[in-house]
Homo-oligomer: A and B are copies of this chain.
Amino acid sequence: MIANNASGMMGDNYFKAMRIHQSRRPTSEFLSKVLSTIRQICREWSSEGLPERDACYKPIIEELNAIYPIESDRHDIRILVPGCGLGRLAHDLIENGYTVQGNEFSFFMLFTSFFILNVCKEANQFTIYPYLFDKSNCWKPEDRLRGVTFPDKALASTMSNRPNSFSMCAGDFLEIVRGAEFDAIVSAWFLDTANDIFKYIDAIYDALPDNGVWINVGPLTWHYEDVAGETSIELSYSEIMLRIRQKGFRVIKETQIDSKYTVNRLSMLQNQFTCGYFYARKGLQQPSSFSISNH
């Protein structure tokens, strides 16, 4: 159903897209991406995922709202959310009044976020069974069989009649961001998708104006760590922070956030991440208006 609706993304090519059929048996890599997409629906768009969203998205939104306290002015603030997955953080920023561009590379995520944002109409309209294949670490057979409804809120109507705008941009972050400018960039569970973290830091720097805002949260599970033939530079967190400061950011706030990621909360095994969280501004010096108030 998600894939069928995704053909709607293709505009005039709709009927051509409808004629695409799967003729080969899907590979295990493909199937594992389907499974992780289903788990991502739980994280971003079900009430099961609320604790995970509260842990990571809430601090970001509160930080941004403290930086931009006047809600009616926020439509002028352009925020980029790279690696936006199924778009929930981007959507919540829209609801807070910002103009947001989400960027995502994975077709699995793009198809599914299109479906959720544009096709789902009612809260809890659909039910998935994301834990059916969790064969290990199960307390009771019922735990495996339970359904999860999504989206957790009605969506189609929430986007209209706003001065701010919401766009989704498909493609590689480093390509997308080239030449673009945003007032703020929010990288949530994103930095470790880099082949070369130095390029990400440079790109974020280049896409911000002086004093532009960068908020980051996430662990460092380097996605290309064990992928043959791919560059993978596995810095530690302290090395990344050193590079960020050397590049010309001043780090205003730095803390740690405990969070899980797409866990089955009823499993015997819970992967608990402690994420690095920071809020930084581009430019080494305080802007002049701030400097004056210090004297």
Contact = CB atoms under 8 A, between A and B. Distances in A.
Interface of A: 135-141, 143-144, 192, 219-222, 225, 232, 234, 236-239, 268-276
B225 A135 contact: yes
Given A136-B192, A136-B220, A136-B222, A141 B271 contact: no
A237 B135 CA distance: 11
Contact of A144 (B135, B236, B271): B236
Given A136-B220, A137-B219, A271 B271 contact: yes
Given A221-B136, A222-B135, A225-B136, A236 B271 contact: no
A138 B236 CA distance: 5
Contact of A236 (B140, B236, B274): B140
A229 to B, nearest CB: 16
19 contacts: A135-B234, A136-B192, A137-B219, A137-B220, A138-B234, A138-B236, A138-B237, A139-B238, A139-B276, A140-B237, A143-B236, A144-B236, A221-B268, A237-B268, A268-B273, A268-B275, A270-B274, A271-B271, A271-B272
A219 B270 CA distance: 11
Contacts of A144: 236
Contacts of A271: 269-272
Nearest to A274: B268
Contacts of A219: 136-137, 268-269
A224 B273 CA distance: 27
Contacts of A225: 135-136
Nearest to A221: B136
Contacts of A272: 269-272
A238 B268 CA distance: 12
Closest 9 CB pairs of A and B: A135-B234, A138-B236, A219-B268, A140-B238, A136-B221, A270-B272, A139-B237, A136-B222, A268-B274
Contacts of A140: 236-238
B141 A238 contact: yes
A243 B98 CA distance: 57
A272 B274 CA distance: 13
A172 to B, nearest CB: 21
A238 B144 CA distance: 12
Contacts of A141: 236, 238-239
A219 B225 CA distance: 28
A32 to B, nearest CB: 11
A273 B269 CA distance: 5
Contacts of A270: 271-274
